[in-house]
Amino acid sequence: MPAARGSRDATVRRFALTDAIFRALTKGAAILVLVLLGGVAISLIAGSWPALSTFGLSFVGSEAWNPVTEKFGALAPIYGTIITSAIAIVIAVPIGIGIAVFLTELCPRPLRRPIGMAVELLAGIPSIIYGIWGLFVFAPFLQTTVQPFIIWMFHGVPGLNSLFAGPPYGIGLLTSAMILAIMILPFITSITKDVFDTVPSVLKESAYGIGCTTWEVTRRVVIPYTRVGIMGGVMLALGRALGETMAVTFVIGNAHRISASLFAPATTISATIANEFTEAVGDLYTSSLVALGLILFIITFIILAIARYMLLRIDSRAGA
């Protein structure tokens, strides 16, 4: 028996050892995820240090972007990023929620899965496809039909005439915002649909039971109940829109200036980096572009953190 006891002990020890190794391996991989994000932050700060120490805080407040005199400021790209994303959200949120209402309340059951899947496929299309489509199909269409009409319609209206001032390039702020709206639509729809599904049927049924119409149930019961989740989805989509690169790079026009007109070419943070990084000569130029990346990273990190926090709150309520 002692021999068997000994081999049993050895086996148990071997099991314990391999288990400890495997556990350490998986834990290491989990920690690596944290290290990755930390590494991104540190490398961006290190890379942008020359620019930030040269320009200081005026980097964020200056509109200048001159590679020849090596004067760089981030105001124009920040402005373009925020304006395009904001317009995209304004366009995409009502449509996205509308599709979610359609899918949860109106759509005939057999069509629900295919249509839901089609909308999610929109999310899977690479952004460069939206870019090439925007440049060759969408922008010329806007340039020849929509934009001249809008310019003609508003040219006598004070305020709006500077917002929609010509000439119609086709590319520019508004075109980028519309492409972004198409791109973030699926995110808003699928998250809104998911949070709509967390509404207890009893709540909806009691509202229907006292004679509410579908719209009243949606407006007075479903949307108030899921408000936090919808906001989370909108913030998530905003995070996507802020960081979206390729689609915008194609249609924004890459002009470092802030103009009142939404039809004017402009630039965003990501489009500036994508367009200029490989051609940037000199440490200060490169470093300024990395500093732009750092600003984008900080903005999106805050927005995404808020989004995740809001979605966590509705998750815990659904679980409770």
Partner 1 sequence: MSTALSLHQSRKRKNGVMMALCVVAAGIGLAWLALILGALIYKGLSGVSLAVFTQMTPPPGDAGGLLNAIYGSIVMTIIGIVVGTPIGVLAGTYMAEYGRFSKLTTVVRFINDILLSAPSIIVGLFVYELMVRPMGHFSAIAGAVALSILVIPVVVRTTEDMLNLVPNALREAGTAIGAPRWVVIRSVAWRAAMSGIVTGILLAVARISGETAPLLFTALNNQFWSSNLNAPMASLPVTIFQFALSPYEEWQQLAWTGALIITLTVLGLSIFARSLTGRREDR
Q: Which of residues 108-137 bind partner 1 (CB under 8 A)?
A: 115, 117-122, 124-133, 135-137
Per-residue x/- mask for partner 1, residues 71 to 100, rule CB under 8 A?
-----------------------xxxxxx-
Task: Find out whether 254 and 271 touch, Cβ atoms under 8 Å.
Answer: yes
Read off the tokens for 315: 């998750």
Q: Which residue stretch of 70-78, 144-152, 202-210, 272-280 sits at the interface with partner 1 (rule: CB under 8 A)?
A: 272-280
Among 10, 90, 106, 153, binds partner 1 (CB under 8 A): 106
d(CA 170, CA 252): 10
Indicate whether 7 belongs to the interface with partner 1 (CB under 8 A).
no
Task: Find out whether 183 and 127 touch, Cβ atoms under 8 Å.
Answer: yes
In terms of Cβ atoms closer than 10 Å to its own Cβ (0-12, 13-18, 19+), residue 308 is middle
Instruction: Give 69 or 278: the residue with its C-beta nearer to partner 1.
Output: 278
d(CA 85, CA 173): 10
Nearest-approach distance from CB 195 to partner 1, in angstroms: 16
Per-residue x/- mask for partner 1, residues 26 to 65, rule CB under 8 A?
xxxxxxxxx-xx-xx--xx-xx------------------
Indicate whether 101 belongs to the interface with partner 1 (CB under 8 A).
yes
Interface with partner 1 in residues 241-270 (CB under 8 A): 242-246, 249-250, 270
**Torsion sign over Cα 10, 15, 16, 20:** positive
Among 3, 25, 57, 68, binds partner 1 (CB under 8 A): 25
Nearest-approach distance from CB 154 to partner 1, in angstroms: 24
Q: Which residue stretch of 50-58, 64-72, 150-158, 213-221 sits at the interface with partner 1 (rule: CB under 8 A)?
A: 213-221
d(CA 266, CA 252): 6
Instruction: Give 102 or 154: the residue with its C-beta nearer to partner 1.
Output: 102
Give the helix/strand (H/E) hosting 126: none
DSSP 81-105: HHHHHHHHHHHHHHHHHHHHHIIII
Nearest-approach distance from CB 31 to partner 1, in angstroms: 8
Q: Which residues pair with 65 in a beta bridge?
A: 72
d(CA 184, CA 181): 5
Instruction: Give 44 or 314: the residue with its C-beta nearer to partner 1.
Output: 44
Task: Find out whether 250 and 176 touch, Cβ atoms under 8 Å.
Answer: no
Q: Which residue stretch of 51-59, 199-207, 232-240, 259-267 sits at the interface with partner 1 (rule: CB under 8 A)?
A: 232-240
Among 253, 297, 310, 314, binds partner 1 (CB under 8 A): 297
Strands 65-66 vs 71-72: parallel, antiparallel or unpaired: antiparallel
C-alpha triplet 268, 271, 275: angle, nearest 5°: 140
How many binding residues for partner 1 (CB under 8 A)?
A: 90
Q: Which residue stretch of 56-64, 69-77, 163-171, 212-220 sits at the interface with partner 1 (rule: CB under 8 A)?
A: 212-220
Indicate whether 154 belongs to the interface with partner 1 (CB under 8 A).
no
Task: Find out whether 122 and 182 touch, Cβ atoms under 8 Å.
Answer: yes
Residue 264 DSSP code: S
Nearest-approach distance from CB 146 to partner 1, in angstroms: 15
Among 146, 277, 284, 318, binds partner 1 (CB under 8 A): 277
